[in-house]
Amino acid sequence: MNASGSNCSESAVGPPLWLLAELTYRCPLQCPYCSNPVDFARQGEELSTAQWIEVFRQARAMGAAQLGFSGGEPLVRQDLVELIAAARDLGFYTNLITSGIGLTDAKVAAFAEAGLDHIQISFQAADEELNNLLAGSGKAYAQKVAMARSVKAHGYPMVLNFVTHRLNIDRIDEIIELCLELEADFVELATCQFYGWAELNRAGLLPSRAQMARAERITNEYREKLAAQNHPCKLIFVTPDYYEERPKACMNGWGSLFLDITPDGTALPCHSARQLPVAFPSVREHSLAHIWYESFGFNRFRGQDWMPEPCRSCDEKERDFGGCRCQAFMLTGDASNADPVCGKSMHHELILQARREAETVSATAETLQYRNEKASRLICRS
Ligand code: FES
């Protein structure tokens, strides 16, 4: 049933094209900007190998083409090679999103043999000390550098991801230099978005406007220099919602093409939706076709019928779908409100206030709340 109470037909809704398999919430690192739910410690048992493969089979039969393996840290799953091979046999384009911790040369070779198409490694910072402080591991930086080189040596395109924030963004030139040294082909310089643990730490992570402007200018200077050299490295700079003037078309629209399966089998239209006061179905109980086309959760914010003003009469609603439902919920307590990033939202002042605070706040790595099981358990209890 959709928000207006009618059944949703397959002809009106396209299939999920992109499946994200969050294989586990377990992770050896403790990044304070992790987008996993802060209450991950109370989530249920992980799906088995056979259950994951059945999810892949159903998604592929529905038309899904791309499958991302993520987490937590997906490398902690001992069946990762088996899952990759199964996805590949089904014809998926597969992508591993990893911190590189737990990776070895032998594993990269096994993943390549199993047919993995793409590996993305994330870094916390360009300097070893800050990287390891944010990651919570004294060995993280050296391991990431070694594994980035190994991925490249196995013939994969080098795809690096840096989450930038007020504690590392002033060294963006060093970040780009490291990427060039590692012969990166694609670099995502993604300024932190505020979901999960990042939302808890927003005051300490949101860069100031001057920091953002400087980072973007330096990135553009590097882009021009690289283009003049015909250099293959592509730099992708992602501005955080808090400095955008228009809301993003989150997930390209609710239940439009993105399907996320959490470690315990809960199906979500985005990685953060579990926090919403909406019931989401499990692959343990329902087929993916039922979940995608018929479930209340996937129809709740699909299309435009659910929209109140100002979205309902907005001439941009077909482009941005009212922005992000999770951000609307986190900031206003009501997921059907316009995303406060939008200047037409009656809650836009919350964004302006956060920007003002970012001009004056003094934060250090020590003041952040790090993501780990103990902290999650405490949050669950409070
Ligand atoms: Fe959930 Fe944007 S992250 S709708």
Residues 303-316 have pLDDT tens digits of 999 999 999 999 99
Tell me, in angstroms, the distance from the centre of ligand 1 to residue 250's CA: 6
Q: Whose CA is nearest to atom 2 of ligand 1?
A: 324
Per the CB < 8 A criterion, the answer to whether 41 and 89 are in contact is: no
Of residues 348 and 9, the one with the higher pLDDT is 348
Report the distance separating Cα 318 and Cα 256, nearest Å: 12
b/e per residue 321-358 (b: at least 16 CB within 10 A): bbbbbbbbbbbbeebbbbbbbbeebebbeebeebeeeb
Tell me, in angstroms, the distance from the centre of ligand 1 to residue 261's CA: 14
Per the CB < 8 A criterion, the answer to whether 56 and 259 are in contact is: no
Does position 282 have pLDDT exceeding 60, yes or no? yes
Tell me, in angstroms, the distance from the centre of ligand 1 to residue 156's CA: 30
Under DSSP, is residue 17 helix (H, G, I), strand (E, B) or coil? coil
The residue type at 161: N
Q: What is the 3-state secondary structure (H, E, C) of 304-329?
A: CCCCCCCCCCCCCHHHHCCCCHHHHH
Of 270, 302, 329, 337, the residue with max ligand 1 atoms within 8 A of its CB, to mutate for a pocket test, comes to 270
Tell me, in angstroms, the distance from the centre of ligand 1 to residue 260's CA: 11
Does position 4 have pLDDT exceeding 60, yes or no? no
Q: Please report the pLDDT score of residue 318 as a whole number.
A: 93
Q: Whose CA is nearest to atom 1 of ligand 1?
A: 326
Tell me, in angstroms, the distance from the centre of ligand 1 to residue 184's CA: 29
Per the CB < 8 A criterion, the answer to whether 43 and 26 are in contact is: no
Per the CB < 8 A criterion, the answer to whether 290 and 242 are in contact is: no
Of 199, 250, 275, the residue with max ligand 1 atoms within 8 A of its CB, to mutate for a pocket test, comes to 250
Q: What tokens does 270 get?
A: 């985005």
Does position 6 have pLDDT exceeding 80, yes or no? no
Does position 378 have pLDDT exceeding 90, yes or no? no
Per the CB < 8 A criterion, the answer to whether 95 and 66 are in contact is: yes
Helices 105-114 and 140-153 cross at an angle (nearest 10°) of: 40
ipTM: 0.93
Q: Please report the pLDDT score of residue 11 as a whole number.
A: 54
Q: What is the pTM of this model?
A: 0.93
Atom of ligand 1 nearest to the CA of 273: 1
Q: Which of 122, 126, 80, 78 is nearest to 101 (CA)?
A: 122
The conformation of residue 293, written as its DSSP 8-state character, comes to I
As a whole number, mean pLDDT of residues 174-203 equals 95
Pocket-forming residues, ligand 1, beta carbon under 6 Å: 250-251, 270, 272-273, 324-326
Q: Please report the pLDDT score of residue 213 as a whole number.
A: 96
106 Cβ neighbours under 8 A, 6+ residues apart: none
Atom of ligand 1 nearest to the CA of 268: 1
How does the average pLDDT of the chain come out, rounded? 93
